[in-house]
Every structure is written in C-alpha cells, then in structure tokens.
Structure 1
C-alpha cells in the first residue's frame, strides 16, 4: 500500500534557511527556520509551507489537518461553480412540416433558456440529399426564430448526410 504524498511541506520537511512567517497570533516577517518551527510548536500548531516558490518561501503557522480540510473545501467549491456544457440535439428531415418545426422550436427554446447548447441538424435519407437548399433554409429559419434566446455558433455545415448548426444560449439580459 502506497501512502499518498502530502501536497505541502510541513515542519521538519521545510528545507529553506529563512521563511516569511504568517498566521494568526504571529507577527508577520522574515525569520530563521528554527525560530519559526519553535514558534509553531509553542502554540501546538504546525509550520506549513504555502508558497514554496516565493523568495523567501512563505510559511503559515496553522493546524495542518484543519488547513488541508479548508483547501479541499475550496477545491470542491471551485469545481461546483465550474459550468458543465450540455448539448441537446434536435433532428429535422428536409421535408419537416410547420407543426413539427414549431414543436421542435419550442423544445429548443426551453433548452436554450435552461443554459444548454442546441445542435440542430437536418438528416438526409436516401435521395433527399438533392434537397440541400431546403436543409439550409430550414436551419436558417430555425436559427432566426431562436435569435432572441441564443446566438448562432456554427453556420450550416454539411457533414456526410447531416447538415448541422450549433446555437449557444444568449447571455442573460441582466448579466454583464
């Protein structure tokens, strides 16, 4: 069984001769490493190197287990705030009628409102590939109808038997 390596150097593992000391109940400043260790030990805390690339390295007097817990918590928050991109697909045929078009338009509107991207495509089956201009017109009409809720990210593009566009949600009206 392998023990995971600690991300920070603590106490005796710190190799610098001098460190910039910070922490609660500590006078910030540059001190000798042995003095810093003694100050941390006197408070029953650990000396943790938080900025090893600084000159001299920055060390904080803190309870290490509590410090690690806070760092994990911060990482989780950052991860939770990161937005995940969801792409919803909507399929058309070159001969899609108005009712189906409106139905799919309503779904796309909802997808864009909830913040998902929409990938709309016209799938040409068999000989319908000769109606490419119908596909272009259909997708242009679709993107124009959704211009209030999303912006066109990719112009109609034919890949094999599929003509595709991608719409990204429009930024919220109140957001800057």
Structure 2
C-alpha cells in the first residue's frame, strides 16, 4: 500500500516502517508489547490489515494494526469537526457623519447590538468631509454617545482615533 498525506505529514505504513523494534497495539486496542518490526508486519499481514505508525517520536515508535483507509477517514472526520467548531469573527462596519441625528444613532446602535450579539466585532466610523475635519472633538462626542448605547454588551477594543478623514473605534462583544 502507498501512504496518503494526512495533516501535511506522511504517516508511515507497512514496509515504510524501518524501525528495528516497535511498541505494538493490536487491532482491538490491546497492547501486544515491544516486538521486532518484521514480526509486527507479519502479524498485521496475518490479520489482513495494515501496520500504521501512530507515534514515531516515542522510544520505541508506537505502531497499531488497523485498516489504514478507515484510519485516514477518521482523521479527516476529526479535522472537519474541529473546523466546524471554530467561530470566525468578522468585523462589521457602521458609518456615521458629523451631522447625524440622535434618532439615527439609536438605529445604528440597534444594528450594532445585533452584530455584537452574534459574536462579530463592530468598527464604528465617523467620516469627515471638507472642513469638518477641524471639528474632531464633535466626532469624539458622537462615538462616546454611540458607545454609551451599546456598552452593556460591548467593550472598546480600539479606542476612538482619527485616521485620515475618518475617526474610528472598534468594539468587541463583552464576554459573559
């Protein structure tokens, strides 16, 4: 049989295992002790199964008698499950201008709460146009007002800071 790459490294099977002695585990999971590499290969062939090295860094290396195809399938299944459980955090952006009204801030705060409750981060941006850039203190007030409406479910990850023609702040969901 040939070896199939799993998790970016080769798993040694059957004749690829060159160790003189191996710690052998039977196909039903019981330890068979330390045996020679040739004897382990012979035992696996008697059971019409493969000899698979599962821990090559151990002294002596650990090998198991098993169906290699089934082993590869189980490994792929485990990595797929691990990927499913990972939550990707995305950053949602909410934009405002200096001339935003209180009611509009409330609406945008409600939308931000939905994003935060679903586990996403929120980037709140106040855009300055033309001469508005001279009034960055008003941008700070708007961002402070916005944060006061969502502070019960969020924390400031990056405080308000002026970057070019924008002032932005990043909010992260509050850990329960």
Check whether TM > 0.5. yes
Which one of 25, 31, 40 corresponds to residue 22 of structure 1? 25
Distance 1:40 1:76 in 2: 29
Shift of 1:59: 0.8
Distance 1:167 1:65 in 2: 47
1:84 aligned partner: 88
Which one of 130, 142, 160 corresponds to residue 164 of structure 2? 160
Runs of 4+ in 1 over 6 A off after TM superposition: none
Shift of 1:87: 0.8
Distance 1:137 1:58 in 2: 64
Deviates more, 1:48-57 or 1:102-111: 48-57
**Structure 2: tracts of 5 or more residues without a match:** none
The 5 A counterparts of 1:6-155 are: 6=5, 7-25=10-28, 26-155=30-159
SS class of match (2:31): coil
Cα shift readout 1:13-62 (whole Å, capped 9, x = no counterpart): 00111111124344342211111111111111100011111211111111
Using the size of structure 1 for normalisation, the TM-score is: 0.91
Distance 1:114 1:169 in 2: 9
Distance 1:93 1:107 in 2: 17
Using the size of structure 2 for normalisation, the TM-score is: 0.91
**Structure 1: tracts of 5 or more residues without a match:** none
SS class of match (1:91): strand
RMSD between aligned alpha carbons? 1.6
